[in-house]
Amino acid sequence: MMLLTALYFGLALGLTSAASVQLAALTAEDAVQPDRCDGIEFDAITPDEKGNTLFFKGAHVWKGFHGPAHLSSESFKELADHPTGHVDAAFRMHNTENVDDHDHVYFFLDDQVFSYYNQSLENGYPKPIVDDFPGVPSHLDAAVECPKGECTTDSVLFFKGHDVHLYDIATKTVKTKTWSHLPTCTSALRWLEHYYCFHGHNFTRFHPLSGQVNGSYPKDARHYFMTCANFGHGGDYKVPKCSEVKIDAITTDDTGKKYLFAGPIYMRLDTHRDGFHAFPITRVWKEMISGVDAVFSYTDKIYMIKDDQVFIYKSDAHYTLIEGYPKSLKEELGIEGHVDAAFMCPNQHTVHVIQGKIIRDIDLTATPRVMTREFPLPFSDIDAGLCGQEGVNVFKGHQYYHYDNAFTLAVTRIAPVPENVTPAMMGCEE
């Protein structure tokens, strides 16, 4: 009996010691803050409901494209209670038909799924993956949302090895494909309407329906998805404070894409669900090496004005410069001198051009172009103008003036009270 007691005591002591060692190892691992600039294979990547991109590795998460790692349990405390200790896959739900699920962020750990909104766990979670996503396997490698228009229906792509499980959100059905040509994705991300498979410290861009890869891949994620020393790309441009904003031009094209231009950079403003990100203008419009003075969109084209020249680009996927351009302002629009701002209102054929304290209306249906009206303005030094369904905004530094329509702007002799640019408008910092 004494021998049995001693054996049980020794075994218990050994298990306790092993558990203590394991706990100490986990605690030490948590204490070591990883540096993604060293080259990390992420466990999961997803945007949250506010447009912040979350990068998960082990017990840590990075919020955004720059900044240090934090313990994921500080934001999602329930994840720390799961034995796995790390997120297998994650995605943000895009489902406008069901407002209860829209913009919820889903995390997958082993055979369990967690649903969060505003970093709060939804009632009833965690639950088995099969209860929420029937037909989707456990122990996933990656997941990414795919809204209707980019996929056939509102869908989610689930990755496990080279198998891709296409989950239809409305019908809760799954179609499985094998994409052996694509690397095994340890995480996936939909960002600015493109799809990325992350593997090692690299990524490969792919088509969400076929998995087709076009271009030269893989590429190092540190050049594109984080700010690291000795790694350069668009991420080197920092978003200014709202009180420091000074834009050169702003426009919305016929597809609804809204662009802001400032110095050598541009931003897409309609992609706030993916966050606001600045890139070099030459990334899309390679001929615009010195920035732009004014921009407007008409039919399926975007007009860029710099000094006394007009560049016209076809609004296709790559914004191709139309043959024969640039042309002079005089030849294209029938005016001369510096252009401060230009804008067009929806479903109209008149471009409103601001030069100093004068606004000039030019009929784009006439060949050659015809200036139909000109009016004095109650202010000068306007930087940019934008017209939409809610009226006209003209920007001057970090402030703007709002008018109900272009005619009111032209005939009103007293300027309205200026309003300050807000973070919601263009992603600047307060």
pLDDT of residue 158: 98
Cα separation, 140 vs 274, in Å, equals 23
- In 368-415, the DSSP E strands lie at 370-376, 384-388, 391-396, 399-403
Instruction: Among 25-29, 35-39, 272-276, 422-426, name the most confident range.
Output: 35-39
| Residue (of 138, 40, 52, 125) closest to 88 by Cα position | 138
Question: 209-236, pLDDT tens digit by residue?
Answer: 999 998 889 999 998 898 888 876 544 4
pLDDT in tens, 83-123: 777 899 999 998 666 666 788 999 999 999 999 998 899 99
Return d(Cα 41, Cα 325) in angstroms, integer.
Answer: 45
Q: What is the pLDDT of residue 81?
A: 82
Helices (H), 268-402: 329-333
Chain segment 288-324, per-residue pLDDT in tens: 999 999 999 999 999 999 999 999 999 876 789 999 9
Fold of 29-235: Hemopexin (2.110.10)
- Which residue type is seen at 306? K
Segment 317-372, tens digit of pLDDT? 678 999 999 999 999 999 999 999 999 999 999 999 999 999 999 999 999 999 99
In CATH, what is the architecture of 242-426? 4 Propeller (2.110)
Q: Are 135 and 167 in contact (CB under 8 A)?
A: yes
pLDDT score recorded for residue 3: 34
Q: Tens digits of per-residue pLDDT, 130-168?
A: 999 999 999 999 999 999 889 999 999 999 999 999 999
More confident residue, 59 or 26: 59
Is-above-0.85 flag for pTM? no
Asked if residue 21 has pLDDT above 60, the reply is no
- Evaluate if residue 17 carries a pLDDT over 70: no
Q: Domains of the chain: which residue ranges?
A: 29-235, 242-426
Q: Fold match between 29-235 and 242-426?
A: yes
State how far the Cα of 369 lies from the Cα of 344, in Å rounded to an integer.
15
Separation of alpha carbons 148 and 142, rounded Å: 20
Report which of 304, 357, 359 is spatially closest to residue 332, judged by C-alpha positions: 304
Amino acid at 426: M
State the pLDDT confidence band at 174, using cuts at 50, 70 and 90.
Answer: very high
Give me the percent of the chain exceeding a pLDDT of 70.
89
On average, the pLDDT of the chain sits at 87
Mean of pLDDT values over 405-409: 93
